[in-house]
Amino acid sequence: MVRVFLFLLVFLISNTYSSIVLDKVHNFIGEDAYLEHKRLIHSIFKNESSFMKDKYNARSLLIIRKLRKNGLFNLFYKEKMDLEINIDAKVSNNSVFLIKNIKESFLNLGFNFIFVKNIKYIKQTLKLKLILKSEAMINPISLHKEFQKRGIEIVDVYKGSHTSWDYYINSSRLKLHNTFNIENNRKIKIKKIINDIHLKINNAKVINISSDGKNKWHPYIVFFDKSLNPIQIIEKDKKVNRMRLFIPKKTKYIKITDKYVIKNIKHGISILLTKR
């Protein structure tokens, strides 16, 4: 009797895993591809438990990796189409910065024709609808890597239709990408600047900035707290060579750029952080 019970328990658990994992596969590749490659799919995912986070949730990105590895994950279309990305994210009060990081991630992957169609913010949940003009849908694995650089985690992925994907993300560890960690009382020079400069600071009270003489720097400096909320913004319309600024309390990050175009500081700047 005990053996029969154990067998039934294992059978039920196995079938639960199987239905969740294979349902995900079916969702990602569609009915036709699933039926055509059903035998191969069952062979690839025969160890269903290794593709599960827990009893109820599949490891979607791992499933996609396996499908891609076996040539079963197609992202291409016959022509350019309007493709829809729906993002559902838990956020605190830094939704603007999250949207900026999301758009930067897509741009870095070569999706230049992207616009925000709809934004809803309800009870600390951001619902974002993006439209891409492309011959290929974005690769979730590539997007995952870009998101990781910015402290964004993909919790789950779902294919809503032939031309739309839904992403459920966690942004609790949102951070600035390409951040310089600069020690106090140590002057550094950042050369050949092509993007905004982001600094992560530790107990510094004053920042000294010197622009290379070949630059035409019109300062635009933003001080952020640990949650990436702007504390203070300093900007100048005229060319500046040097600045000495007191850092506001609770500052964790500083962005340094040019008010007009980044090439105005392409020859580099020097930075010194001090405690007084």
pLDDT tens digit string along 172-229?
Answer: 888 877 788 889 999 999 998 988 999 999 889 999 999 999 999 999 999 998 878 8
- What are the tokens at 73? 């994950």
Q: From CA 177, how far away is CA 272, in angstroms rounded?
A: 21
Residue 4 above 90 pLDDT? no
pLDDT tens digit string along 130-149?
Answer: 999 999 999 999 999 999 99
124 pLDDT band, cuts 50/70/90, is: confident
Cα dihedral 91, 94, 95, 98 sign: negative
3 pLDDT band, cuts 50/70/90, is: low
What is the DSSP track for 140-162?
HHHHHHHHHHTT-EEEEEEEEET
Nearest to 158 by CA among 140, 145, 174: 140
pLDDT tens digit string along 26-60?
Answer: 999 999 999 999 999 999 999 999 999 998 999 99
- How far is CA 216 from each of CA 68, 106, 206, 213, 254, rounded to the nearest angstrom? 48, 30, 23, 8, 20
DSSP 248: P
Q: From CA 99, how far away is CA 104, in angstroms rounded?
A: 9
Full-model pTM: 0.77
Q: From CA 155, how far away is CA 128, in angstroms rounded?
A: 16
> Which pLDDT belongs to residue 229?
83
Q: Could you tell me the domains of the chain?
A: 2-69 (no CATH), 76-170 (3.30.70), 179-274 (2.60.120)
> Which pLDDT belongs to residue 1?
52
The residues, any chain, with a CB within 8 Å of residue 186's CB and separated by 6 or more, are 272, 273
pLDDT tens digit string along 233-257?
Answer: 999 999 999 999 999 999 999 999 9
> Which pLDDT belongs to residue 131?
95
Q: From CA 200, how far away is CA 160, in angstroms rounded?
A: 39
DSSP 138: P
For residue 184, count other CB atoms closer than 10 A to its CB: 15
Residue 93 above 70 pLDDT? no
Q: What is the pLDDT of the chain when averaged over all its residues? A: 89
